[in-house]
Amino acid sequence: MTSLVSLVAALRRVGAAGFLAAVLLCAASAQTTPPAEPAPEASHAAPGQNPAGGTEMTAPEPHEGPDLGSLLPRDLSPWGMFLTAHIVVKAVMIGLAFASLVTWTAAFAKALELIAAKRQLHRALGVLAQVSSLAEAGEQLSGRGSLAAALGAATAELRLSSDTIDKAGVKERVASRLERIEARAGRLMTRGTGVLATIGATAPFVGLFGTVWGIMNSFINISKQHTTNLAVVAPGIAEALLATALGLFAAIPAVVVYNMFSRSIASHRALCGDGTAEILRLVSRDLDRAEGDGTGMPRSNAILSVAE
């Protein structure tokens, strides 16, 4: 009996010692570092090398999208945009450039004509203000110009009316001739201004047509390539904006120059009216002087003497 109790006590001590040893081993194993990973196998060799000695294998590179900079036009200057534009937009640009050339040509030519005509009118008005008879005015205005033509028409009417006795009728006929000459001078001076009005009114709409066509080309390119990136949209938008700019470049100077010429031509007509009125006064003065010179000359002879 005593030996059995001693055996059980010894087994307990042995079990407690074993349990304590197991706990210590578990704690030691948890604190130790994990073992290094094994070297990669041959199947995980460096890229481009086949461990079995077969064909070289390379990993596929990631897909990169197209470079937008390489797809854009190299030259986006006005000349480069013109060269790459659609044929319809090119025709619009050429037409607007020609309209601009016509505008500036007409502007310089008409400006020189108006300057020369106004100088001539001022000189003729100075002469008419100083003379006292048609004969004296005819001697000093023997040249070209609207007032010289008006003076010649007045003298011709006096010659044609030499067999009449109605002085009022002569004055009326002379005034009618002078009025027609004044109107003719105004019509001659307005030549070339109609094209300026036409260009100023239509050039913006022609440029707008080129703008619409260029934007339409952009949408066509989008539908063909199924993308809306800048390389697809930029060429059409660029040529559209260039057409708009050319339309404004042709229209704005045409409108400004036309308004300037309208005021200058109105001033020219006013000067012509002053000259014809001065000539009519000279005719009236000569008729009154010839009739009342105290010689008893008949009215028909008085009119003939004025014409001569």
Segment 61-92, tens digit of pLDDT: 544 444 444 555 555 676 777 777 778 888 99
Q: Report yes or no on 146 lying in a domain.
A: yes
Which residue type does 158 have? L
Q: Report yes or no on 119 lying in a domain.
A: yes
Q: Report yes or no on 40 lying in a domain.
A: no
The mean predicted confidence, pLDDT, of the chain is: 75
Mean pLDDT of 27-56: 46
Number of domains in the chain: 1
Which residue type does 295 have? T
Mean pLDDT of 251-257: 94
Q: Report yes or no on 170 lying in a domain.
A: yes
State how far the Cα of 153 lies from the Cα of 88, in Å rounded to an integer. 55
State how far the Cα of 99 lies from the Cα of 84, in Å rounded to an integer. 22
- CB burial string 128-156: b at 16+ within 10 A, e below: beebeebeebbebbeeebbbbbbbebbbe
Q: Report yes or no on 25 lying in a domain.
A: no
Q: Report yes or no on 173 lying in a domain.
A: yes
Q: What is the DSSP string of 14-53?
A: HHHHHHHHHHHHHHHHHHSPPPPPPPP-GGGPPTT--TTS
Which residues constitute the domain of residue 283?
A: 86-307
Q: Report yes or no on 24 lying in a domain.
A: no
Q: Report yes or no on 158 lying in a domain.
A: yes
- pTM of the predicted model over 0.85: no
Mean pLDDT of 175-198: 90
